[in-house]
Every structure is written in C-alpha cells, then in structure tokens.
Amino acid sequence: MNVLAIDTATPAVTAGVVRLDGVQVLAERVTVDARAHAEQLTPNAVRALADAGLGVDELDAVVVGCGPGPFTGLRVGMATAAAYGHALGIPVHGVCSLDAIGVDTVGDVLVVTDARRREVYWARYRDGVRTDGPAVCAAADVPTGAAAVAGSPEHAALFDLPRQAPVYPTASGLVRAVADWNVEPAPLVPLYLRRPDAKPSVAKR
C-alpha cells in the first residue's frame, strides 16, 4: 500500500511517499519556508513520487497533517490532500501534526511549534503516545513536568529541557500517526485552536 504523506502545519513543507508495510519511506522532499507552502507543496509531492519511481495512479491513500497551525498553511495542505483523494478515488486520513513529531519521541516529551503572537502550539507525549493537548498558549503557561522537548528549535529553546531530535512532521511520522488504516477516515477538520480574527459586523439598529 503506497501512501502520499503531506504536512504544511509548520514552516516545513513536507511531502513523502511511504509504503505502509513496514512504514518504508520510499522518498521524501522537505522545504523549510513558512512563506512557500502553496508554491512548494505540489512540486515536492511530484518530485517525491518521481524519486520513488511511482505514478499518482499507484497511490492507495493520502495522509495529511491537520494542524495545529496557521490558517493559510493548513488550508494549502488539506486542500491538496483532498484534491488528490477526490481525483484518484482514494481515502484521505487527517492526523494531528504534533502527533507526527511526538510519535518519534521516547519518554515524557513536550512537543512545541510556533503559534506566532508570542504563543506556542503544544502537546505532551509518553513514549510516542499523546497524553495531553493539543493546545495553544504562551510558553510560560504550558504545563510543566516533561523530561524533554521536541519541535521547533527556536521555540523549544524557551523551555529549560534537553532536546529530542524530531523537529518537523515527517512522512513516516504522519503515516504512523494514523490510528487505524482499516477504517473509513473521518472528514478532514483543521486544528486551528484559535477563534478567527475576523468577526461579523453587528448591524446598526
């Protein structure tokens, strides 16, 4: 079973092709540029497929990170995943992007990524399984007690904890974050975690 894995919830624009049996990464392309999600995602996916020696007709499923992340980034990744699924008639599985980082950690680990506005997105994991979150708040308000930290390096540095290696969601992490490949995937729902800035105007009486 060949899976296209994509994520645009962080500055990393990730696209990879993974063979589900043994979670074998056949190819992966990553561009770290917070302003280039729309420009880089499709080329990265096309190049990953070429590197893997596969055509789009040989894909059996898509998995996409649904955040938490900024509106524009998530919209690019999820719309692209949905387009592949619709065009090819294959299932699209959505996962928490923090899980795609946390699944590669060992012990009690806090995963943090940039939420802008002097805040972080965070979730806590024990041996790769999420135990708390995801949530968004100022770094000072994140619950303490973890033994290590992973995720965005510049924001992980806000916590006085040793670092674990995972930084951005990987193709293998996205695939392993899917709870059950044998069930019909739920509709894609973005994890914005914030209310939209735009508010409907109140009609004057």
Domains contained in the chain, CATH given = 2-97+168-176 (3.30.420.40), 98-156 (3.30.420)
For the four alpha carbons of 99, 103, 109 and 115, in that order, the dihedral sign comes to negative
Crossing angle (nearest 10°) for helices 37-52 and 71-88 = 40
User: How confident is the model over 80-96, as a mean pLDDT?
Assistant: 98
Whether residue 143 is predicted with pLDDT greater than 70 in this model: the reply is yes
pLDDT of residue 174: 98
Is the pLDDT confidence value at 30 over 60?
yes
Question: Would the pTM count as exceeding 0.75?
Answer: yes
What's the token pair of residue 133?
């979150």
In b/e form, how buried is each residue of 19-47, taking b as 16+ CB within 10 angstroms? Answer: bbeeeebbbbbbbeeeebbbebbbebbee
Phi, psi angles (nearest 5°) of residue 13: -100, 100
Mean predicted confidence (pLDDT) in 138-158 = 91
